[in-house]
Amino acid sequence: MKNKIIVNCWIKPIGEIAISVVLTYITASLIRELIILLYRYTNIKIIDFIWSLWNTLQYEDIGRYLYIIVALPLFLIINYAITYKKNKDLATIIEETEIMVEGNLDKLIDIKASGYMKSLVDNINNISTQLKEIMIEERKGQKTKNDLITNVSHDLRTPLTSIIGYLEFIDSDKYKDEVELRYYINIAYQKSKDLSLLINDLFELTKMQNSSIVLERSQINLVDLLGQLVVYFKNEFKKENMKERINFSEDKLIVYADARKLVRAFENLLSNSIKYGKQGYYVDIITKAEDSMAIVQIINYGEAIPEIDLPHIFDRFYRVEKSRNREIGGTGLGLAITKNIIELHSGFISVSSDENKTIFEIRLPLSYNEA
């Protein structure tokens, strides 16, 4: 490819020079014949003067260079006409790239070119577009990092402030009796557990996103795993005066996955449905097979997730307006962890919500190896 470009860059200018020489010779010959015809059949004084001057100069020392002197300006004019568009395009490219260098990557070179000039324009435009995309991603990444630092700082400071406050009460003996002392100690302990949970979740999510986590895969019957998990959650449903409804398919739904990680993902979704679906009483857990994929739907009938929040529901620390109250609990990382777990298994998770119900749908590739 490189050699082809080099050859083209050499051959095209040589071809342009050759064409210019041929056209110069033809044009000069036509002009000479025209002058001769005009001299013979007209009485135009200027033609007579040119012809006389030409004949006189031929016999002077300058005569040997006469054809060159006459042909050279003609050659330059013709060559300029032939190469005008290419040179104009090149000047445009230089002008536009100078604008790009100043930081205006929205500017693209818009010229109608062909051959290696078109390739040059396309390559410059592609580089400009890619640089623009990289800059946008870098800005997004910087914003995400700043948001993460802000959210982590806020979520760490909240329980830490409580812990320090209650420990100060204890250290300063600002309690009435042992009952109040134990009350303060218990609150500090619970806040410490919240802090530990947040740090562990953040650490786990970071490991997943850096692809540094190793999955311990095996053949798992997804229906059995969900059945056991629902039994585990029975007390949680009962405590919140809620009822689970199961609609499992008759298929085994065998998946090749890390059982502990999947349990964590489904625990997050069930806990989420209990926290935010209390008004709807029921939580439905549905399984089915479709197009070589195992599908799990977890549905609650509580308040709808606002449409503006749906695209961000799996972002780290993102909380919809109704769940911003820290008393609801959670670290704000549960759904982000769930999404990463599902994607580590080459699966996909989505959410839809309206005034009737909120559906979290998980798709995992089925495994047909019964070993």
Cβ atoms of 300 and 283 closer than 8 Å: yes
Give pLDDT tens digits for 275-316. 888 888 899 999 999 889 999 999 999 888 888 888 888 886
pTM: 0.56
Residues 132, 145: contact at Cβ < 8 Å?
no
User: Which positions ≥6 away from 117 have C-beta within 8 Å?
Assistant: 86, 89, 90
Tell me the pLDDT tens digit for each residue of 161-177: 888 888 888 888 887 88
Q: Quick one: pLDDT at residue 222?
A: 92
The answer to whether 353 and 365 are in contact (CB under 8 A) is no
Beta bridge partners of 102: none
Residue 284, beta-bridge partner list: 245, 299
Q: Please give the Cα distance from 209 to 145 (Å, whole number).
A: 14
Q: What average pLDDT does the chain have?
A: 80
pLDDT score at 296 = 95
Read off the pLDDT band of 370 (50, 70, 90).
very low
For residue 119, give the amino acid letter. S
Asked if pLDDT for residue 324 goes beyond 60, the answer is no
DSSP state of 306: P
Q: What is the distance between the alpha carbons of residues 259 and 265, in angstroms, rounded to a whole number?
A: 10
pLDDT at 128: 81
Cα distances (angstroms) measured from residue 63 to each of 39, 47, 148, 311, 356: 20, 19, 85, 85, 101
Exposure on the CB side of residue 182, measured as CA atoms within 13 A = 3
Concatenated DSSP letters for 203-254?
HHHHHHHTT------EEEEHHHHHHHHHHHTHHHHHHTT-EEEEE--SS--E
Please determine, for residue 362, whether its predicted confidence score (pLDDT) is greater than 90. Answer: yes
